[in-house]
Structure 1
Amino acid sequence: MRNGVKRRLRDGETIIAAWLETGSPEVAEILVRTGWSVLVIDCEHGAAGLEEGLGLIRAVEASGGDAMVRVPDPSEATLKRALDRGARSLIVPMVNSVAQARDIASFVRYPPMGRRGYAASIVRASGYGAWPLYGAEANEEVFLAVQIEHRDAVEAAEEIMAVEGIDMVFIGPNDLAGSMGHFEQLDAPDVVAAMSRVEEAASQADMLVGGIEGARDCGALGRDGYRLIVCSNDVSLLAAASRDAVARCKAALDREKAAS
């Protein structure tokens, strides 16, 4: 019930992860059992809504993995519900101002650090009361990553990183590029410069950085200091394997026809 992701990052590890987009518990199990030790359950763009997505935590953990949850919105009710249902590592999208960052940080931790609503003894997060010290220890177990994915967030990045309770900034290059007038142009010079500005600010602030493969692959991101790298997703993995299988079967048939 402890936060394995947070501990691995504190130990200096660079974590690779995969998005879970289909909302399938079977796919979650397959991904973990084939080597993806961390899955990010995507309740923003994925097929699973919040409640269904939170249910997928069970499949990930039962297979031996660690689950992160990207929530669909930064509302107090959403974040409270996610934590109560057992999410320990959260990614919050589109955090564009220091005021928004402060609110989010306060929503996910109990007083005196924050204002998270109390139901510790009856929620899944505490094992339905089996973890009697959950209320006292929950603040330490939460891992909060906020997404920097808009030009406004880049301007406020240093202030956002200074907010107590934020553990990581997670750079979203696609939406950032779109907000700067360079939709799907991740290598546009000013987009690259904006990401570099956030990366440098994070280095100066000793703040963890996460992100996704895009213009840079996993190796390059690791070289540039990223500590959580979401490298793939279940939809793309299935689509690529499907294309390869179709091509292999057609090629085998063509060889037989040519030989006959």
Structure 2
Amino acid sequence: MELPANAFKSELAAKQAPLYGCWLGLANAYTAEIVATAGFDWLLIDGEHAPNTVVTILEQLRATENYPAASIVRAVNHDPALIKQLLDIGAQTLMVPMVETGAQAEALVAAMRYAPAGIRGMGAGVIRADRWGSVADYATRAAESLCLITQVESKTGVDNARAIANTDGVDAVFVGPSDLSTNMGHVGDPGHADVQAAISRVLEVTKAAGKAAGILAPAEADTNRYREAGFDFIATGLDVALLKTAAEANAARHRGGTTSAERGTY
């Protein structure tokens, strides 16, 4: 059996058009599969803020793998043991939050690679990633199919964005505007001039490093602005917010009241 290809990694490298994605925070394979039919280019299975486990992430990977939308898994932290588990169950693209230094980026690359290039534990023959031993050369070629996205979400991360982006093995840098604005002292205001300047700085150094840049932008105006700025992949929806907004709109239409969108919650 051939090494499973990573279409998302290939599309990022091609940089032909922005790739639009949706956050999956419902921690449910059934809803993940529904969103996979909607036409997004990629889906983010959220292991940081959603109540996911390795098992529920596996269920969502299985549910979405036969659809065109590529699946990305966000780890809850930098733990190499957890990263090993996520890779072993077949996650090909990982997003890791709160990366603040080049050294942290290097450690994440090492966690995704087998020795001598890294520290990933060897489970060849007993893991889903190599189809339980069916991919004969998996151990030597695994890195070809893996994609690492590092998240910059703090002022320290912005200050070190050049080092992070230039780390060999980092494929993309993703900005988290909410965490970044909060860390910079502008809670709930990612549109603040200082935050926007920081975002532009991350985009600039990421592009200069030849890497792809991504960002979360569920508001249409933000999506348009970041697309024009040159971001390569943009999260335009969150399943939790989409469900809540639609439910509130339905209830408000029949019973009166306002929705989260009208109140400015989203």
Superposition TM-score, scaled by structure 1 size: 0.91
1:6 correspondence with 2:9? yes
1:83 correspondence with 2:100? no
1:56 correspondence with 2:60? yes
- Quote the Cα distance in structure 2 between the aligned partners of 1:29 and 1:37: 14
- Quote the Cα distance in structure 1 between the aligned partners of 2:78 and 2:181: 22
- Quote the Cα distance in structure 1 between the aligned partners of 2:209 and 2:56: 36
Task: Write out aligned runs for 1:26-105 (5 A).
Answer: 26-105=30-109
- Quote the Cα distance in structure 2 between the aligned partners of 1:122 and 1:50: 16
1:138 correspondence with 2:142? yes
Residue aligning to 2:168: 164
**Which letter maps to 2:250?**
A
Residue aligning to 1:190: 194
- Structure 1 segments of 4 or more deviating over 3 A? 62-65, 247-251
CA contact (8 A) 2:29 2:56 kept: no
Q: Which runs of 5+ in 2 are unaligned?
A: 257-266
Deviation at residue 35 of structure 1 after TM alignment: 1.7
Residue aligning to 2:225: 220
Task: Write out aligned runs for 1:247-258 (5 A).
Answer: 247-250=252-255
What secondary structure does 2:65 align onto? helix
**Which letter maps to 2:247?**
S
1:239 correspondence with 2:244? yes
**Which letter maps to 1:72?**
V
- Quote the Cα distance in structure 2 between the aligned partners of 1:181 and 1:80: 35
Q: Which runs of 5+ in 1 are unaligned?
A: 252-260
What secondary structure does 1:187 align onto? coil
Choose 52-61 or 78-87, whichever is displaced more.
Answer: 52-61
How many residues align? The count is 251
- Quote the Cα distance in structure 2 between the aligned partners of 1:201 and 1:98: 13
Residue aligning to 1:229: 234
- Quote the Cα distance in structure 1 between the aligned partners of 2:69 and 2:200: 31
- Quote the Cα distance in structure 2 between the aligned partners of 1:85 and 1:196: 35
Residue aligning to 2:153: 149
From 125, 130, 136, the equivalent of 2:129 is 125
From 193, 206, 210, the equivalent of 2:210 is 206
Residue aligning to 1:18: 22
Deviation at residue 47 of structure 1 after TM alignment: 2.2
- Quote the Cα distance in structure 2 between the aligned partners of 1:73 and 1:136: 26
Deviations 1:41-98 (A, max 9, x none): 0010012123322331111114453210000111110111110110000000001112
Which structure has the larger Rg?
Answer: 1
From 117, 121, 132, the equivalent of 1:113 is 117
Deviation at residue 214 of structure 1 after TM alignment: 5.6
- Quote the Cα distance in structure 1 between the aligned partners of 2:223 and 2:163: 28
- Quote the Cα distance in structure 1 between the aligned partners of 2:110 and 2:212: 19
Choose 213-222 or 108-117, whichever is displaced more.
Answer: 213-222
CA contact (8 A) 1:50 1:71 kept: no
- When the two chains are superposed, the root-mean-square deviation of aligned CA atoms in Å is 1.7
Q: Percent identity?
A: 34
What secondary structure does 1:122 align onto? coil
CA contact (8 A) 2:218 2:238 kept: no
- Quote the Cα distance in structure 2 between the aligned partners of 1:210 and 1:83: 21
Deviation at residue 249 of structure 1 after TM alignment: 3.6
Superposition TM-score, scaled by structure 2 size: 0.89
